[in-house]
Structures are given as structure tokens and as C-alpha cells.
């Protein structure tokens, strides 16, 4: 049987679209957005939607009468109207496979780059200035530092494993997850306890109505003066105005952000030009290796749906596939 997939990702490059096409099950058709802003033709024709961070609204669902399932190619599905999917009987599944390694590596990259003043050192070297001694007093090692992980699910635990290899001490707070027995990590009961003790606070939890602006003026004031804030999860977790104020007042040593409240940010975003802030364009999980793994697992899940088998990583209450009659 042949099915039509709509890859609902207007930002995808030709190379990315080709990689999706290459992973497509034999005989299936791939649609990609043909005209900016109007996807009605693709929505009307598709059986499955594969999506990255593009929003999926109730109106999109109403425009897609054949739609059977939505597969998110990553993990953070806060842009999908889950209630609308649920009301229409459309299951939504995510693809953690291929995501955690990239985000964990990126988290370590941001920490080490900030501790070693990489932006300043490399930027100066390009301009012919050799800052061999100037940055030492303000540079640090990860070894021996306390890394506080807010959220200890798939990614938080992968970060912990890598940071442990750098000899960091791991603290975490999570209402549900606990450390596996092979991972040396101390659980603290509250965010406040973690903020008071951590040299680095790294966010690895979903954005929800409860967690929006979890990091705000109050929580920033609880952090150590020399601390770093790392966010590879979602921009909405951090009140950026409060972060800016904490950096300006010297309350915080720096921030590494792969995600912002508005992406892409306006050119005059006050966090963009600072030496103590390292911003990357939401690329934590964006590697060639991750993409190949994600596509393999995303299409395997859609095939599961066509066979009427239970889906993997379903985030709606509709875990069972609808029968294809």
C-alpha cells in the first residue's frame, strides 16, 4: 500500500529534503511545502505528517481529512496542539532516537566554550591578537565543578554521563526520574536547592505552562554569583529580560543558549552580542548522524501504524493505531 507523507518543515534545505526522500519506505510519496504560508494542497493529500518545530494547529488538522498520524522528528513537541489532535483521533509520536547524543554533546560544548572564553580567544586570534595570558584569570575547568541538571530524563542522563567523564559532580532535580545505579548523581528535592549549589545549571525539561519562565528573576537570584546557565531545551523556559539583568549586574558569569524565546531572534536582540553569552541557532540535535537515525525510527513508527501495531513514544493518549480499512 502506498501512503503520502507531508514533511511539514518549510525551513528544510534541499539537502535535508533529499535525506528524507532517501529514507522513505518503498512506494511512498513525499510532499514538501510548495508555497510559503499556504500548505492546504499538501495537507489535503497527506496520510502522515512528519514535522520538526513548525506549529501544527487545529486549522491544519481540519485541512487534512486523510491524516492518520503525526510523527515529530525530535522530542520537544510544544508547538503541536495535542488537545486538537486528541479530539480528532490523530495520534502524535516523537523520535527520541538520534536526539539525546547530539544535545548532550552540545551541552558540554557550550559549558567548555564558556569556561575557556572560546568566543573571545578565537575571535581575537582571527584579528591578529594573541590573548595567551589575558584570559587566564577568568577561565575555568569543568573538573571538580557541580553541574546541576534540571530535568533528568533521556538527555539529562546523557549529559550526566559525559560530564562525569570530565570529573564534574552531578546534582539533579526531577519530579519523576531517578538516576540509574551506574550513574553517580545526587538528587535534590527542589529547584532552589540545586540553584544554590550548582556552578553550572543546565535545563533538560519540556516547556509547558508550568515550566514557562522557570528561570526568572527570583530563580536567577538563587544561583551562585559565578554560575553559568545552559539552555538546550526551549527558549520559553527562561525569562530573557531577567537573564540580561542578571548578567549586567554581574550576578551570573555567563549563559550558553541553543534556544531562544523567539527564533530566529531579532538582529538587535540584547543577548546576541555579548562576550559572556554563547548563542547557537537551535542546532543541538542537528547532526548528520542524528538525522539518519531519526528518519529510520520515524518511518519505522509510521510503518507500525500501517500494520495496526502500537506506536513507539506516543505522546497523545491515542497510543493504539487506527485500523486502515
By the 10 Å C-beta count (0-12 exposed, 13-18 middle, 19+ buried), 143 is classed as: exposed
Spatial neighbors of 137 by CB under 8 A, at least 6 apart, are none
Question: Which residues are known catalytic residues?
Answer: 234, 263, 282
CB of 44 to ligand NAD, least distance (A): 30
CB of 159 to ligand NAD, least distance (A): 9
3-state class (DSSP) for residue 19:
helix
Nearer to ligand NAD among residue 64 and residue 104 (C-beta): 104
Counting residues that bind ligand NAD (by CB under 6 A) gives 32
Nearer to ligand NAD among residue 103 and residue 195 (C-beta): 103
Nearer to ligand NAD among residue 137 and residue 189 (C-beta): 189
Provide the CB-side half-sphere exposure for 222 (13 A, CA): 16
DSSP assignment of 247-313, as one string?
HHTTS-SEEEES--SSSSPPTT-TTTT-TTEEE--S-TT--HHHHHHHHHHHHHHHHHHHTTPPPSS
* Interaction of residue 259 with ligand NAD, rule CB under 6 A: yes
* Interaction of residue 128 with ligand NAD, rule CB under 6 A: no
Phi, psi of 200 (to 5 degrees): -135, 130
Q: Choose the stretch contacting ligand NAD; rule: CB under 6 A; options: 62-70, 148-156, 265-273, 305-313.
A: 148-156
Q: Is the peptide bond before 94 cis (omega within 30 degrees of 0)?
A: no
* Interaction of residue 145 with ligand NAD, rule CB under 6 A: no
Return the residues of window 39-58 that contact ligand NAD according to CB under 6 A.
Answer: none
CB 49 within 8 A of CB 8: yes
CB of 289 to ligand NAD, least distance (A): 14
> Could you give the CA distance from residue 309 to residue 186 in angstroms, rounded to a whole number?
39
Spatial neighbors of 180 by CB under 8 A, at least 6 apart, are 157
Nearer to ligand NAD among residue 233 and residue 316 (C-beta): 233
Binding pattern for the stretch 272-311 against ligand NAD, x by CB under 6 A and - elsewhere = ----------x-xx--------------------------
Return the residues of window 172-201 that contact ligand NAD according to CB under 6 A.
Answer: 173-177
CB 96 within 8 A of CB 154: yes
* Interaction of residue 211 with ligand NAD, rule CB under 6 A: yes
Take residue 233 and report the three cell numbers written for it. 531545551
Residue 35 CB neighbours (<10 A) = 10
Q: Choose the stretch contacting ligand NAD; rule: CB under 6 A; options: 7-15, 26-34, 229-237, 247-255.
A: 229-237
Q: Give CA separation, 249 vs 170, 225, 243, 268, in Å.
A: 27, 10, 10, 20
CB 232 within 8 A of CB 106: yes
* Interaction of residue 154 with ligand NAD, rule CB under 6 A: yes
Residue from 64, 108, 150, 179 in contact with ligand NAD (CB under 6 A): 150
Nearer to ligand NAD among residue 115 and residue 172 (C-beta): 172
Return the residues of window 60-99 that contact ligand NAD according to CB under 6 A.
Answer: 74-76, 96, 99
Residues at the interface with ligand NAD (CB under 6 A): 74-76, 96, 99-100, 103, 150-156, 173-177, 204-207, 211, 232-234, 258-259, 282, 284-285
Amino acid at each position: 500500500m502506498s501512503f503520502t507523507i507531508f514533511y511539514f518543515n518549510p525551513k528544510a534545505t534541499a539537502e535535508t529534503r533529499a535525506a528524507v526522500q532517501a529514507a522513505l519506505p518503498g512506494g511512498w510519496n513525499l510532499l514538501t511545502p510548495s508555497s510559503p504560508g499556504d500548505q492546504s494542497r499538501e495537507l489535503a493529500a497527506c496520510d502522515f505528517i512528519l514535522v520538526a518545530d513548525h506549529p501544527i494547529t487545529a486549522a491544519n488538522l481540519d485541512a487534512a481529512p486523510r491524516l492518520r498520524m503525526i510523527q515529530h522528528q525530535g522530542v520537544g513537541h510544544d508547538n503541536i496542539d495535542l488537545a486538537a489532535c486528541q479530539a480528532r483521533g490523530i495520534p502524535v509520536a516523537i523520535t527520541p532516537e538520534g536526539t539525546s547524543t547530539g544535545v548532550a554533546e552540545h551541552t558540554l560544548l557550550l559549558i567548555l566554550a564558556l569556561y575557556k572564553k572560546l568566543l573571545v580567544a578565537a575571535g581575537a586570534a582571527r584579528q591578529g591578537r594573541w590573548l595567551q595570558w589575558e584570559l587566564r584569570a577568568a577561565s575555568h575547568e569543568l573538573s571538580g565543578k557541580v553541574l546541576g541538571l534540571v530535568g533528568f530524563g533521556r538527555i539529562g542522563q546523557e549529559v550526566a554521563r559525559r560530564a562525569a567523564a570530565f570529573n564534574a559532580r552531578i546534582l539533579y532535580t526531577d519530579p519523576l526520574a531517578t538516576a540509574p545505579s551506574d550513574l553517580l548523581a545526587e538528587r535534590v528535592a527542589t529547584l532552589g536547592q540545586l540553584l544554590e549549589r550548582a556552578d553550572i545549571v543546565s535545563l533538560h525539561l519540556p516547556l509547558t505552562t508550568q515550566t514557562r519562565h522557570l528561570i526568572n528573576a527570583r530563580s536567577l537570584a538563587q544561583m551562585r554569583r559565578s554560575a553559568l546557565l545552559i539552555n538546550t531545551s526551549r527558549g520559553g523556559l527562561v525569562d530573557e529580560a531577567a537573564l540580561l539583568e542578571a548578567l549586567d549586574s554581574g550576578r551570573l558569569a555567563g549563559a550558553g543558549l541553543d534556544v531562544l524565546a523567539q527564533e530566529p531572534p531579532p538582529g538587535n536582540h540584547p543577548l546576541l552580542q555579548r562576550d559572556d553569552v554563547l548563542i547557537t541557532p537551535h542546532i543541538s540535535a542537528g547532526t548528520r548522524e542524528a538525522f539518519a537515525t531519526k528518519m529510520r525510527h520515524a518511518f519505522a513508527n509510521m510503518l507500525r501504524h500501517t500494520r495496526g501495531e502500537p506506536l513507539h513514544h506516543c505522546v497523545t493518549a491515542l497510543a493504539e493505531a487506527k485500523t486502515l480499512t
